[in-house]
Chain A
Amino acid sequence: EPEVTQTPSHQVTQMGQEVILRCVPISNHLYFYWYRQILGQKVEFLVSFYNNEISEKSEIFDDQFSVERPDGSNFTLKIRSTKLEDSAMYFCALKRESSYNEQFFGPGTRLTVL
């Protein structure tokens, strides 16, 4: 039974468009993360989110990115104006309060920017 699902599985968009990627936790989690993996490169940390605020973000996570948990359940990553270089696989990860340091990853959303 997966801890987390992500929607959509694949998103194709035009450069300059806004996209919203969604992460749906199956059970109660407190810590949320977004990572991305550009094709052929390593998985990179983007942002961590706890108690409805960002706890840490990387240099990649600039002003065009934002995260929120609007309904107290889904966790979203918004890219305001997509660029070609945003094309990547985006992974959501979750951590329970009780699972020290263990992050459960979703299956990912493949974003293609044309």
Chain B
Amino acid sequence: AQSVTQPDIHITVSEGASLELRCNYSYGATPYLFWYVQSPGQGLQLLLKYFSGDTLVQGIKGFEAEFKRSQSSFNLRKPSVHWSDAAEYFCAVDYTGTASKLTFGTGTRLQVTL
């Protein structure tokens, strides 16, 4: 079955430290890949997406993600975390290629300590 795995349920980092959130998807033709962020009481905001081309994609708020086909991964990174980055982060995959639905991971809750 098509699935998305985010192995880290909860991560705590210090402000200014680097961050990497992991995401793996089940094997198949290269899907369309997304990272969303959810702040408390807010909807899901798109951080970045990968469809094709350059495997390192840049997103909003200083985030980037790298697609690695050999590892079926799409990890999210940020070189220096800010306290305002504390939120829940979801990796999502469109296996259909037709924007008919997204398959989400279970999410990673990021806590930032000052």
Binding site for B on A (CB under 8 A): 2, 4, 31, 33, 35, 41-45, 48, 55-56, 58, 91, 93, 95, 100-108
Contact = CB atoms under 8 A, between A and B. Distances in A.
Interface in B72-114: 90, 92, 94, 99-107
A58 B102 CA distance: 11
Given A101-B94, A102-B49, A45 B101 contact: yes
Interface in B1-16: 4
A108 B105 CA distance: 18
Interface of B: 4, 32, 36, 41-46, 49, 51, 90, 92, 94, 99-107
Contact of B42 (A43, A101, A107): A107
Main secondary structure of the interface of A (DSSP, over half): strand
Given A35-B102, A43-B104, A91-B43, 15 more contacts: A4-B43, A35-B104, A42-B104, A42-B105, A42-B106, A44-B104, A45-B101, A56-B101, A101-B49, A101-B94, A101-B99, A105-B43, A106-B43, A107-B41, A107-B42
Contacts of A41: 106
Nearest to B3: A42
Contacts of B36: 105
A95 B98 CA distance: 11
A41 B61 CA distance: 26
B35 to A, nearest CB: 12
29 contacts: A4-B43, A31-B99, A35-B102, A35-B104, A42-B4, A42-B105, A42-B107, A43-B44, A43-B92, A43-B102, A43-B107, A45-B101, A45-B103, A55-B100, A56-B100, A58-B101, A91-B44, A93-B44, A95-B99, A100-B51, A100-B99, A101-B49, A102-B46, A102-B99, A103-B99, A104-B46, A105-B43, A105-B45, A106-B43
B63 to A, nearest CB: 16
* Top 3 A-B pairs, shortest CB-CB distance: A105-B44, A43-B104, A45-B101
Contacts of A93: 44, 102
